[in-house]
C-alpha cells in the first residue's frame, strides 16, 4: 500500500489526501451517531417493555385477587349457604321424588346426548374420538336422572343449557333450582366465569352447576372426574381449608369442557361452624387474554403473554395464535411449549430484561417477571423484535451512508480540481528542473504567470 502511494503522481496523491481528510471526520461522526442512537433506542425499548411488564403484572395480580375475594365472599353469603343445603337435600331425594323415574329411558336419552351432541363437538375440536362409553358406564341412577332432566331433555342447545330455570316435575330439586339459579347465573355472567358449582361436602356430588356440562350431578370422589384438578380443589377445600380460605388449581385439560384447559378455585361453605359444602368457580381464559392482549404501544411484533410451570401458554399469543394459544399449547404441547431462557428465568423467580431468542426463533427484547399469586408459578413476558425496536437506527444508517456517499463524490470533484491547481506549479518546476539536468542549460527560466494584485 505504501509503495503504491509513493508511486502515485503528485495530483493523485493530493486528491487522495484531500478525500481521506475530508471523509474521515464524517465517517467518525456517522459511526458515533449510530452507536449513540442504538444505545438510546435500546434504553427506550427497555424502559417501555419494563413499564408494560409491570402494568400487565399488576393487572393480572389484581384480577386473581379479585377472584379470590369473590369466591370467599360468595361462599359466606346466606343465600349460597341456603342453596347449598337445599340443593344437597334435593339431590339426595331426587330419585325418590320422581315416582315415574325410568332409569333405562333416562340412560337412552343421556347416551344419545353424549354420542350425538357432545361427542360430535368434542371430535370437531380435538380431531379424535370422545370415548363417551367409558363415561356412561360410571353414571349412577341419580346422575342419569338429573342429566336427563337438565341436559339431554333440556330444550336449549348445546352450550346454552344454563338458559333453563327449572326442569318440569314435582321434585323439590326443581323448586330449589328455580329459586337460586337466576341469581347465581347473573353473577356468573357479570364476572364472566366459565361455570359455578356447589359440591356436597361428604359425597363430593356436584349438586348444582350453572352450565350443566357432563360433570353435573357426578361425584368428585367416586365419579369419572375424581382424578381431575377440579376434584383436587374440592378435596383440599373439603378437608383442609377453614372459612374464608381458598385453593386454586392451575390449568389442565378437562374432558367435560371438550378437553380444553380449565382452572378451578374453591372455598368451603360453612353453616355456622359446620362445613357443609364447597363453592367452586371454573376460571375463564377470556379475562386473562383481555388483559394480556392489550396492543397499545406494542408495534407490529410486540406482545405480552403468560407461561406456566409446564412451559405451556396461560394466555394466547398475538404472533402465533395457531400453535401458541392456551388451548393449542395444551392440546399440542410439542408445538405449543415455550422453553426459552426468558421463560425459564421468570419461572425461577427472576425479574429482568434481556435480548434473547424467542419461541419463533427471533432475537427480541424480553422483559420477564414471575407471577406467584395464589400458589401459581407463571412467568409474564413483554417482548418486541430487536429489528423493530432498533429500526430507526437502520434508517439513520441509510441516511448517514447516503450523506457520506454524496459527500465523497463532492470531495472527489473538489479535490480533483484543487489538486490539479496546487500540483500544477510543482509539476512545472519538476519538469523544468528535469530538463535543466538533462540538457545542462542553466539559462532556462521557469514560466510563471503572476496573478494581478499579487
Strand partners, 381: 305, 368
**pLDDT over 50 at 224, yes or no:** yes
- Vertex 234 angle, CA 311 and 348, to 5°: 25
Nearest alpha-carbon partner for 292 in 324, 322, 266, 268? 324
**pLDDT over 90 at 205, yes or no:** yes
The domain spans of the chain are 12-66+298-431, 76-284
| Dihedral angle of Cα 58, 60, 64, 70, to the nearest 10 degrees | 80
Task: Name the grid cell of 8.
Answer: 502515485
Give the pLDDT band (50/70/90) at residue 437: low
Give the pLDDT band (50/70/90) at residue 39: low
pLDDT top residue among 22 and 452: 22
| Dihedral angle of Cα 135, 136, 138, 142, to the nearest 10 degrees | 130
Between CA 187 and CA 28 the distance in angstroms is: 67
Residue 14 CB neighbour total at 10 angstroms: 20
Sheet with 274-282: strands ordered across: 206-209, 195-200, 274-282, 260-271, 247-254
Reported as a single tens digit per residue, the pLDDT across 358-369 is 999 999 999 999
**pLDDT over 60 at 152, yes or no:** yes
Residue 296 CB neighbour total at 10 angstroms: 7
State the average pLDDT for the chain: 87
Collapsing DSSP to helix, strand or coil, 268 comes out as strand
pLDDT top residue among 423 and 117: 117
Structure confidence at residue 101 (pLDDT): 84
Percent of the chain scoring above 90 in pLDDT: 70
Sheet with 363-371: strands ordered across: 303-308, 378-385, 363-371, 352-357
**pLDDT over 60 at 90, yes or no:** yes
Structure confidence at residue 217 (pLDDT): 98
Give the pLDDT band (50/70/90) at residue 45: confident
Q: Summarize the confidence of residues 390-396 as an average pLDDT.
A: 57
Give the pLDDT band (50/70/90) at residue 418: low
pLDDT top residue among 212 and 31: 212
**pLDDT over 50 at 328, yes or no:** yes
Between CA 348 and CA 64 the distance in angstroms is: 20
**pLDDT over 80 at 265, yes or no:** yes
Strand pairing of 274-282 and 260-271? antiparallel
Q: Is the CATH number of domain 76-284 3.30.420.40?
A: no
Structure confidence at residue 454 (pLDDT): 45
Nearest alpha-carbon partner for 381 in 52, 41, 46, 43? 52
Q: Summarize the confidence of residues 293-319 as an average pLDDT.
A: 93
Give the pLDDT band (50/70/90) at residue 44: confident
Q: Summarize the confidence of residues 218-235 as an average pLDDT.
A: 97
pLDDT top residue among 138 and 396: 138
Asked if 12-66+298-431 and 76-284 have one fold, the answer is: yes
**pLDDT over 70 at 384, yes or no:** yes
Nearest alpha-carbon partner for 28 in 396, 402, 404? 404
Between CA 57 and CA 69 the distance in angstroms is: 18
The torsion angles phi and psi of 167, rounded to 5 degrees, stand at -75, 165
For cell 316435575, name the residue: 169
User: What single string gives the DSSP state of each residue in 234-245?
Assistant: HHHHHHTPPTT-
Structure confidence at residue 260 (pLDDT): 94
**pLDDT over 60 at 1, yes or no:** no
- The CATH label, of 3.30.450.20, 1.25.40.10, 3.40.50.300, 3.30.750.24, for the domain at 12-66+298-431 is 3.30.450.20
Reported as a single tens digit per residue, the pLDDT across 160-177 is 999 999 998 889 999 999
pLDDT top residue among 93 and 453: 93
Amino acid at each position: 500500500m505504501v509503495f503504491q502511494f509513493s508511486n502515485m503522481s503528485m495530483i493523485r496523491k493530493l486528491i487522495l489526501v484531500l478525500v481521506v481528510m475530508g471523509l474521515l471526520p464524517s465517517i467518525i461522526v456517522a459511526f458515533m451517531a449510530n452507536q449513540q442512537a442504538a444505545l438510546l433506542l435500546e434504553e427506550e425499548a427497555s424502559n417501555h417493555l419494563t413499564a408494560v411488564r409491570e402494568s400487565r403484572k399488576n393487572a393480572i395480580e389484581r384480577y386473581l385477587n379479585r377472584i379470590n375475594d369473590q369466591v370467599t365472599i360468595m361462599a359466606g353469603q346466606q343465600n349460597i349457604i341456603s342453596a347449598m343445603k337445599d340443593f344437597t337435600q334435593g339431590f339426595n331425594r331426587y330419585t325418590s321424588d320422581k315416582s315415574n323415574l325410568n332409569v333405562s329411558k333416562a340412560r337412552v336419552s343421556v347416551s344419545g346426548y353424549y354420542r350425538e351432541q357432545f361427542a360430535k363437538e368434542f371430535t370437531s375440536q380435538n380431531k379424535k374420538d370422545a370415548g363417551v362409553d367409558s363415561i356412561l358406564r360410571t353414571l349412577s341412577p341419580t346422575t342419569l336422572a338429573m342429566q336427563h332432566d337438565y341436559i339431554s331433555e333440556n330444550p336449549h342447545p348445546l352450550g346454552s343449557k344454563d338458559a333453563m330455570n327449572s326442569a318440569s316435575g314435582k321434585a323439590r330439586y326443581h323448586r330449589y333450582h328455580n329459586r337460586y339459579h337466576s341469581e347465581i347465573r347473573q353473577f356468573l355472567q357479570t364476572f364472566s366465569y366459565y361455570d359455578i358449582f356447589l359440591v356436597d361436602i361428604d359425597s363430593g356430588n356436584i349438586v348444582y352447576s350453572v352450565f350443566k356440562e357432563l360433570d353435573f350431578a357426578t361425584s368428585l370422589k367416586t365419579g369419572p372426574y375424581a382424578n381431575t384438578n377440579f376434584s383436587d380443589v374440592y378435596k383440599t377445600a373439603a378437608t383442609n381449608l377453614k372459612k374464608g380460605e381458598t385453593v386454586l388449581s392451575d390449568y389442565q385439560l378437562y374432558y367435560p369442557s371438550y378437553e380444553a384447559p380449565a382452572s378451578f378455585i374453591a372455598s368451603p361453605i360453612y353453616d355456622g361452624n359446620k362445613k357443609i359444602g364447597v363453592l367452586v368457580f371454573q376460571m375463564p381464559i377470556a379475562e386473562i387474554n383481555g388483559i394480556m392482549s392489550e396492543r397499545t404501544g406494542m408495534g407490529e411484533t410486540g406482545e405480552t403473554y403468560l407461561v406456566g410451570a409446564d412451559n405451556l401458554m396461560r394466555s394466547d399469543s398475538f404472533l402465533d395464535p395457531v400453535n401458541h394459544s392456551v388451548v393449542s399449547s395444551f392440546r399440542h404441547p410439542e408445538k405449543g411449549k415455550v422453553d426459552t431462557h426468558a421463560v425459564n428465568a421468570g419461572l425461577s423467580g427472576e425479574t429482568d430484561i434481556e435480548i434473547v431468542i424467542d419461541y419463533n426463533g427471533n432475537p427480541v427484547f424480553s422483559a420477564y417477571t414471575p407471577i406467584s399469586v395464589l400458589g401459581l408459578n407463571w412467568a409474564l413476558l413483554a417482548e418486541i423484535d430487536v429489528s423493530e425496536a432498533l429500526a430507526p437506527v437502520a434508517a439513520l444508517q441509510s441516511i448517514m451512508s447516503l450523506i457520506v456517499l454524496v459527500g465523497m463524490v463532492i470531495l472527489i470533484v473538489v479535490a480533483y480540481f484543487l489538486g490539479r491547481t496546487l500540483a500544477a506549479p510543482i509539476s512545472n518546476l519538476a519538469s523544468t528542473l528535469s530538463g535543466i539536468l538533462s540538457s545542462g542549460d542553466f539559462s532556462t527560466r521557469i514560466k510563471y504567470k503572476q496573478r494581478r494584485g499579487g
